[in-house]
Amino acid sequence: MKGITFEGLKTVHFTQLPDPEIIQPGDAIVRVSLAGVCGSDLHVFHGRETGCDCGTVMGHEFVGEIVETGKEVRRFRAGDRVFSPFTTSCGACYYCRIGLTARCESGKLYGWREKGQGLHGGQAEYVRVPMADTTLIHLTSDLSPEQGLLLGDIFSTGYFCADMAGISRETPVTCAVVGCGPVGLMAVMSAVDLGAARVFALDTVTERLAKAKAFGAIPVNVGEPDFGRALREATLGRGVDAALEAVGSPGALRLAIDLVRPGGIVTSVGVHTSEHFPFSPVEAYNKNLTYRIGRCPARYYAEKLIREGVAQRLDIASVITHRFALADGAEAYRVFDEKADDCLKAVLVC
């Protein structure tokens, strides 16, 4: 098969690779039809996360069709259309049972191999899925491939960001979403859908702010002087009830902390790679801050969002702006990374 492999700093290649094979009886092999390029792939690409083996197939967002199953796989058979959350999960451990599937005791992240251990990713023609019964989700006929792809990571993650902030119709809050990349825009859409009274969307990129506005937010360009005025005015000078940080950088988190009112909540779903918080215990104490952070349990959320009809109802696929052939994967990374041609979310057609 062919796939996109990590080959060192800022280098990915379209490579000829051996076809994946069933190794464990719970494995399935999926023929990928669509694979996402994600902001967290760029952490590896730019060396902010180190240790990934060269030759690892990149990517953790994919949708496709089962072509082969191990002899213990019960829920799936060849021909089934499926998508996967970005981590595998066993369905039986403590964390899987409480819905924190992203912390499954035997779960692995696609597209991360270190010293020969770990999983190849989905930016390829085929991918091996361990623990297929408790990892994969059927792509039912009411879902498009794009919706499945986004449920596997960024929509679930954006929703998780808003849900962790406790946004609901019962307590209409004013919130700010810091960063309007693909995950931030999904957080905007989720906050609006969950019933936030007002959603401010903060970014510097005009096209992203326009999209946030189309999704129901009040756009705020943080590149402009005194950009915080609208937020202060809307909250009688107090600050927002909830700040949803969807970037994963110290600067974005610092801004979220500055924007939230005393007693408010900050949630972070961007992949943080820094060793230290950009705020101090004394600041947190003086703000009576609640801070929630972490990797989205995407399997739990994907199932919930389908069951409740949220994924089908919202126009989530409109964040996808660019499609590339798998063979042009390296170019997709470049365009996505540089935000060239107003690229917001790129997918590879495999």
Under the rule (CB under 5 A), what is the footprint of Zn ion?
38, 61, 89-90, 93, 96, 104, 153
In the bound state with Zn ion, the residue whose beta carbon lies nearer, of 155 and 291, is 155
Q: Which residue is nearest to Zn ion (CB)?
A: 38
In the bound state with Zn ion, the residue whose beta carbon lies nearer, of 279 and 300, is 300
* Residue 106 Cβ vs Zn ion, minimum distance, rounded to whole Å: 6
* Residue 100 Cβ vs Zn ion, minimum distance, rounded to whole Å: 9
* Residue 208 Cβ vs Zn ion, minimum distance, rounded to whole Å: 17
* Residue 89 Cβ vs Zn ion, minimum distance, rounded to whole Å: 5
* Residue 333 Cβ vs Zn ion, minimum distance, rounded to whole Å: 13
In the bound state with Zn ion, the residue whose beta carbon lies nearer, of 61 and 125, is 61
* Residue 78 Cβ vs Zn ion, minimum distance, rounded to whole Å: 25
Antiparallel, parallel or unpaired: β 260-268 and 240-245: parallel
In the bound state with Zn ion, the residue whose beta carbon lies nearer, of 25 and 263, is 25
